[in-house]
Amino acid sequence: MDAKKKLSEKYKWNDDKREDKGKDTKKKNDVKKSNVCPYAKKCGSCHFQGVSYEEQLAKKQKELKQLLGGFGKVSKIIGMENPYHYRNKVHAVFGRLRNGTIVSGVYQAGTHKIVDIESCQIEDEISSKIIRDIHGLLRSFKIKTYDEDTGYGLLRHVLIRRGFTSGQVMVVLVLGSPILPSKNNFIKAIRKLHPEITTVVINVNDKKTSMVLGERNITVYGKGYIEDELCGCTFRISPSSFYQVNPVQTEILYQTAMQFAGLSGKERVVDAYSGIGTIGIVAAKAAKEVICVEQNKDAVRDAVTNAKRNEVRNISFYQKDAGEFLVEMAEQNEKADVVFMDPPRNGSDEAFLSSVVTMTPDKVVYVSCNPVTLARDLKYLVKRGYEVRKIQGVDMFPFTEHVETVVLLSKGEVDSKKIRVEFSLEDMDMSEFQDGATYTQIKDYVLEHSGLKVSNLYISQIKRKCGIGVGKNYNLPKSEDSRQPQCPPEKEKAIREAFKYFGMI
């Protein structure tokens, strides 16, 4: 059974639905308010709890139209037929209550108090069960959970990654020490409960930090990685590899990008911000040559392995900053027919974009996870002679505010009317999106990279410290004497890191 058919059967997704983007899926994807997650108020990870899926899509469509409508028609967002349990990467933090009870789950919003979670509506069910069973084995194996206040204890986090087409499962035990007592017996016990586990890795995080993963991985069972299939290609996923967490929508996202590129087998393609090579390897099957550039050396190593695994030979990989690499290509009068760009949330930079303009590719396919920075980058390209041809939103993260977008640009004459509409973006009420990222995006980044939950108040405090304007809709204290909690140092550090990531400082 091929990968696409497996996905179709698991999620009741088919080509008819894929082709008909505008079809009303109200019956299939309606989410009633009675289905609100019992942990919603404490967890805070899902912004749209209690909102029907149809309404969630409508809100995201409205945001895309507000930010991108000035560039062209925004096609109807592609949603999921089953918006539940889509995350193939599940993480839980472990700890103890004062009475000694072991708990595992997520940090309560704005605190380091762990919310003990039995199940999550958006996380893979098999992965969640494995975490609960690991939780249940700890006492009998006398494994102590880590106490971040004292620095004592062993088990800090558990990370599960599952290949939705391969069925392979990786268990990552994040420990404060490389030594796990009764290691072999513990692994046997968890594999007896879950024989689907194909590899177990110990990640050593012995520093007093809020980061989840440490730098050292020790494989204690299996190969130390799993493989999964995407768009007919096989990819190797290690504990720290970036790999999209929603397999169904990723397939749609990349299919859309390939469709926009319209490759015929004659093109020279550049895949910027290429990661482990997912887009580049898929494109290589329909292009003459693909050049991938990625700054992270571990990602480049995985990409080379993935290319060999898929017997793709018309592809090359370079470990370098994407902006610097394209500048060098432009200076050497190198050309490309198609440029794929899939930058991080803070978007691209002027050096990269100006190099794209200099190289004059026939097509630019921009895959974005942040419509705010996407609008900024499109504005730059349109002013310099590119035209936006297609805009397609893909809902990768139901129940959250995040949305992915694929945009096709091609060379064309500058249209003064379009530029006039484009500049009207500056006249919009952008207070919610100003300074590079929304409060929600900053909170999500901090949570994902440090495990901390921060409030709008704390973010605004650090914004003011950094000289960043606070949105006019944010309620400041009525007087300087107003009593309000002050942002703790560790949260200030995490917020500043988020600011740097989004290019705000």
Nearest to 318 by CA among 329, 310, 333: 329
271 annotated binding-site participant: no
DSSP 230: E
How far apart, in whole angstroms, are the C-alpha atoms of residue 140 and residue 192? 15
Instruction: Give 251's contacts (C-beta < 8 A, 6+ positions apart).
Output: 4, 7, 230, 231
Identified catalytic residue from 231, 233, 369, 487: 369
294 annotated binding-site participant: yes
Residue 231: active-site member: no
Do 292 and 314 contact (CB within 8 A), yes or no?
Answer: no
How far apart, in whole angstroms, are the C-alpha atoms of residue 469 and residue 239? 38
Give residue 443's identity as a one-letter amino acid code: K
225 annotated binding-site participant: no
Report the phi/psi class of residue 357: left, alpha or beta, with left for phi > 0 and alpha for psi in -120 to 50: alpha
How far apart, in whole angstroms, are the C-alpha atoms of residue 343 and residue 294? 10
Do 88 and 164 contact (CB within 8 A), yes or no?
Answer: yes
Backbone φ, ψ for residue 70 (5° rounding): -70, -15
Alpha helices in 75-231 (DSSP H): 125-137, 183-193
CB atoms under 10 Å from CB of 437, counted, come to 24
CB atoms under 10 Å from CB of 475, counted, come to 9
Do 27 and 14 contact (CB within 8 A), yes or no?
Answer: no
Instruction: Give 292's contacts (C-beta < 8 A, 6+ positions apart).
Output: 270, 271, 274, 277, 280, 303, 315, 316, 317, 318
C-alpha atoms less than 13 angstroms from C-alpha of 315 in its C-beta half-sphere: 30
- Take residue 289 and report the two structure tokens written for it: 């040559």
Helix (H, G, I), strand (E, B) or coil at 63: helix
Per DSSP bridges, beta strands 169-175 and 155-162 are antiparallel
CB atoms under 10 Å from CB of 106, counted, come to 21
How far apart, in whole angstroms, are the C-alpha atoms of residue 248 and residue 228? 12
Give residue 24's identity as a one-letter amino acid code: D
How far apart, in whole angstroms, are the C-alpha atoms of residue 429 and residue 173? 45
Per DSSP bridges, beta strands 233-237 and 226-230 are antiparallel
342 annotated binding-site participant: yes
- Residues with active-site annotation: 369
Residues annotated as binding site? 244, 273, 294, 342
Known binding positions for S-adenosyl-L-methionine: 244, 273, 294, 342
